[in-house]
């Protein structure tokens, strides 16, 4: 059997350690080369940071100003038609024609439907004929009165002469009685003729009323729009028989010029709203969903007489001209209700206000281009601005961008805007801000 000698074993161990040392040398060589490069990068970063601190932290700024700020209430409202009319037929008959298209805007007095007028034209002709007959009877009664009145006057005069002749003994009592009776009979005939005339006049009045009613019924066969507005879907189509007792209207019309927006305010603000309403009409703005850049302007014209116990709110309505018909019944819109305007309020950009553990604060840029951290009390915000109760004064410059890199006393460098100017003035106030 063959065995290795001790000398051969030592030789094998030596070659193994040589190979191991060569492996570690090759592996650690790149690491030693990278160490100077990393050290160089850290040095460059430190030098760069020192340069940034020397030049100042780049920031954007805005200025504290004084201006008139509206006190507003922002809520969600629902658009409602100013009035809704269910158009129904006032006479029965066949619907022979429709004069509009569904969804069309119509004006007050426009013809909407035509109902078969022939039965009503016949009734009107008959009423007019009865009126003409009554007027003819009146004329005949007036002619009889004129004739009998003349005869009565002659008979009365003759009776007076016979009375004188009777006293003279020229005529007998029998002759006088006969003449007197004739005169009295003719007087009664005159009174009867006058009664006939009165009866004829009353008949004429009745016939005139009948004619007027017939004409009115005939006019109802032309159904006209009672208001300006937009028509809805047709409920009854041409050719159908309509009745006055039908519960289904022919069409619905929504008045959209002007238009109402209904919204609710919290119960706790009721006293404040009533107080401002007593000083004049409250102005309101609504923003159509498709045109938020051009709000509609209106005024509050209704406040409900009771608070809703289930929601704890009070219902209000504002009326808007809606000339361009941007507001549509059923829409939900944002409503800004202006209660009053606060004069000379101290206003700062909302971006400048930060929140920390001690509350809200701002960074004020001093004349030496260093910043001071100052606590502030914000009363309310509107649009992009905040009304400041205390903490800053008009004219002071505040940091509005870059606060995360600032500490009290840090030096800043004001960046320029897109137009090359330093944005040290705050953005203009936009009407319609929120509370």
Give long-range contacts, CB 8 A cutoff, 24+ apart: 94-102: 94/239, 94/240, 94/241, 94/242, 95/236, 95/237, 95/238, 95/239, 95/240, 95/241, 95/242, 95/250, 96/238, 96/239, 97/238, 98/234, 98/237, 98/238, 100/231, 101/231, 102/231, 102/232, 102/233, 102/234
Give the model's confidence band at 296: pLDDT under 50 very low, under 70 low, under 90 confident, else very high: very high
155-173 residues labelled b (16+ CB within 10 A) or e (exposed): bbeebeebeeebeeeebee
Query: pTM above the 0.85 mark?
Result: no
Q: Give the mean pLDDT of 271-293.
A: 86
Is residue 290 over pLDDT 50?
yes
Q: Give the mean pLDDT of 344-372.
A: 92
Q: Give the mean pLDDT of 277-296.
A: 86
- When the pLDDT of each residue in the chain is averaged and rounded to a whole number, the result is 83
Highest mean pLDDT among 10-19, 361-370, 379-388: 361-370
Is residue 99 over pLDDT 90?
yes
Q: How far apart, in Å, are the Cα atoms of 110 and each of 104, 226, 255?
A: 12, 8, 14
Q: Give the mean pLDDT of 334-340.
A: 88
Would you state the pLDDT for residue 260? 96
Domains and CATH numbers, the chain: 53-83+255-429 (2.40.30.170), 89-114+222-248 (2.40.50.100), 117-220 (1.10.287.620)
Would you state the pLDDT for residue 73? 86
Q: Give the mean pLDDT of 403-424.
A: 73
3-state class (DSSP) for residue 329: coil
239-262 residues labelled b (16+ CB within 10 A) or e (exposed): eeebeeeeeeebbbbbbbbbbbbe
158-190, pLDDT tens digit by residue?
888 888 888 887 888 888 888 889 888 988 999
Q: Are strands 57-63 and 412-414 parallel, antiparallel or unpaired?
A: parallel
C-alpha 287/C-alpha 64 separation (Å) is 29
Give the model's confidence band at 417: pLDDT under 50 very low, under 70 low, under 90 confident, else very high: low
Q: Give the mean pLDDT of 313-341.
A: 92
């Amino acid at each position: 059997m063959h065995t290795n000698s001790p000398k051969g074993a030592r030789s094998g161990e030596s070659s193994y350690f040589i190979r191991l040392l060569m492996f570690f040398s090759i592996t650690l060589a790149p690491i030693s080369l990278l160490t100077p490069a990393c050290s160089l990068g850290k040095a460059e970063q430190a030098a760069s940071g020192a340069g940034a601190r020397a030049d100042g932290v780049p920031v954007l700024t805005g200025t504290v100003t004084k201006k008139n700020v509206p006190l507003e209430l922002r809520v969600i409202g629902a658009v409602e038609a100013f009035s809704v009319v269910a158009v129904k037929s006032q006479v029965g008959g066949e619907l022979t024609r429709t004069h509009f298209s569904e969804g069309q805007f119509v004006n007050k007095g426009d013809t909407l439907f035509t109902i078969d007028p022939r039965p009503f034209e016949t009734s009107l002709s008959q009423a007019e004929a009865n009126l003409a007959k009554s007027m003819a009877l009146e004329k005949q009664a007036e002619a009889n009165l004129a004739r009998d009145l003349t005869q009565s006057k002659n008979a009365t005069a003759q009776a007076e002469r016979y009375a004188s002749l009777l006293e003279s003994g020229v005529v007998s009592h029998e002759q006088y009685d006969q003449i007197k009776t004739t005169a009295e009979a003719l007087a009664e005939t005159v009174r009867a003729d006058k009664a006939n005339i009165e009866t004829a006049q009353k008949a004429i009045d009745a016939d005139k009323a009948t004619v007027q009613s017939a004409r009115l019924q005939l006019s109802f066969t032309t159904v006209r729009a009672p208001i300006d507005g937009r028509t809805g879907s047709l409920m009854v189509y041409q050719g159908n028989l309509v009745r006055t007792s039908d519960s289904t209207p022919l069409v619905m019309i929504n008045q959209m010029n002007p238009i109402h927006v209904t919204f609710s305010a919290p119960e706790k603000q009721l006293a404040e709203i009533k107080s401002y309403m007593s000083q004049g009409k409250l102005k309101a703005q609504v923003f159509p969903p498709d045109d938020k850049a051009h709000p509609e302007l209106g005024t509050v014209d209704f406040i409900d007489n009771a608070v809703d116990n289930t929601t704890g709110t009070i219902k209000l309505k504002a009326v808007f001209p809606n000339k361009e018909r941007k507001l549509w019944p059923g829409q939900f819109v944002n409503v800004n209700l202006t209660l009053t305007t606060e004069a000379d309020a101290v206003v700062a950009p909302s971006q400048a206000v930060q929140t920390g553990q001690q509350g809200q604060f701002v960074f004020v840029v001093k004349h030496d281009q260093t910043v001071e951290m100052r606590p502030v009390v914000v009363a309310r915000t509107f649009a992009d601005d905040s009304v400041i109760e205390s903490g800053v004064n008009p004219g002071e410059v505040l940091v509005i961008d870059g606060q995360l890199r600032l500490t009290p006393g840090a030096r800043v460098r004001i960046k320029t805007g897109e137009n090359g100017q330093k944005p040290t003035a705050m953005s203009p106030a936009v009407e319609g801000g929120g509370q």
